[in-house]
């Protein structure tokens, strides 16, 4: 069995940090929004996806300087503040399955967060950035998940994904994979679990400690009965 983990908001508690930075800068650019709203609307999205969506709604461009400040400030704060999600190390110690990371973050940011939290060596070299494989399509496109399964030589029906975002769940479902929704990081909100289930997650967990048992249970389910 292959277990694919999203990084931000699943393994590292980074979504709330990025949401606070983007809320401040988007508001400055004339798109008033709170960090909580950023988390609800854009969790799992790349910076490009977030700022492009804001531009479409405002009907005008956001200065490149704002976008650059976002990337620089998020990286700076992640390098000094980000922590692993509670239970990540212990879960990986007992998870009896192959594992990798599939993220919308670029490899430079993944290096920052995974180095800072001591998780890089738990996954290397199987760390995949959606923008840097195949045609560079980010989640909710399924490409990065399919690429990972091919690289690690696992069939789709022998692959499960742990995701905290609707984008990520949708991408994994589009790849034909079963998804465990995760709602245990700091950016989670009321209704988060329901949103992940509506996007196609098979179940939702609040603790990373529950991943091994959930993987074991889902591995024995009839995938056809789950409409996968």
State the DSSP string of 55-102.
HHHHTSPPPHHHHHHHHHHHHHHHHHH--BPTTHHHHHHH--SEEEEE
For the cut 50, the answer to whether the pLDDT of residue 227 exceeds it is no
- Cβ(42)–Cβ(50) under 8 Å? yes
Q: What would the pLDDT profile of 36-57 be if each residue is shown by its tens digit?
A: 999 888 887 888 889 999 999 9
- pTM for this one? 0.91
* Domains of the chain by start residue, with CATH: 2-14+83-219 (3.40.50.1000), 15-81 (1.10.150.240)
pLDDT score of 223: 54
What H or E segment, with its residue span, contains residue 112?
A: helix 107-117
DSSP code for 178: E
pLDDT score of 48: 86
Q: What is the mean pLDDT of residues 80-89?
A: 97
In percent, the amount of the chain with pLDDT more than 70 equals: 96
Q: What would the pLDDT profile of 20-36 be if each residue is shown by its tens digit?
A: 999 999 999 999 999 99
Q: What would the pLDDT profile of 123-174 be if each residue is shown by its tens digit?
A: 999 999 999 999 999 999 999 999 999 999 999 999 999 999 999 999 999 9
Per DSSP bridges, beta strands 98-103 and 127-129 are parallel
For the cut 50, the answer to whether the pLDDT of residue 225 exceeds it is no
Helices 47-58 and 15-28 pack at an angle, to 10 degrees, of 30
H helical segments located in 139-191: 143-152, 166-174
């Amino acid at each position: 069995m292959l277990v694919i983990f999203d990084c931000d908001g699943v393994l590292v508690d980074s979504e709330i940090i990025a949401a606070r930075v983007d809320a401040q800068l988007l508001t400055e650019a004339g798109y008033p929004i709170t960090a909580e709203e950023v988390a609800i609307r854009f969790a799992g999205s790349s910076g490009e996806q977030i700022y492009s969506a804001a531009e479409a709604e405002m009907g005008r461009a956001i200065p490149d300087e704002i976008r650059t400040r976002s990337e620089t400030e998020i990286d700076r704060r992640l390098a000094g503040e980000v922590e692993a999600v509670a239970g990540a190390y212990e879960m990986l110690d007992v998870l009896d399955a192959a594992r990798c990371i599939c993220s919308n973050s670029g490899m430079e940011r993944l290096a920052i967060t995974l180095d800072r939290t001591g998780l890089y060596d738990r996954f290397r070299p199987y760390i995949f950035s959606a923008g840097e494989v195949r045609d560079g399509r980010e989640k909710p496109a399924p490409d990065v998940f399919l690429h990972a399964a091919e690289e690690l030589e696992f069939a789709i029906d022998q692959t499960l994904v742990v995701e905290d975002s609707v984008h990520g769940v949708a991408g994994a479902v589009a790849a034909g994979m079963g998804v465990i929704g995760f709602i245990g990081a700091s950016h989670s909100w009321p209704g988060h679990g329901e949103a992940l289930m509506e996007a196609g997650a098979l179940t939702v967990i609040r603790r990373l400690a529950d991943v091994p048992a959930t993987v074991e249970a889902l591995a024995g389910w009839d995938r056809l009965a789950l409409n996968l």
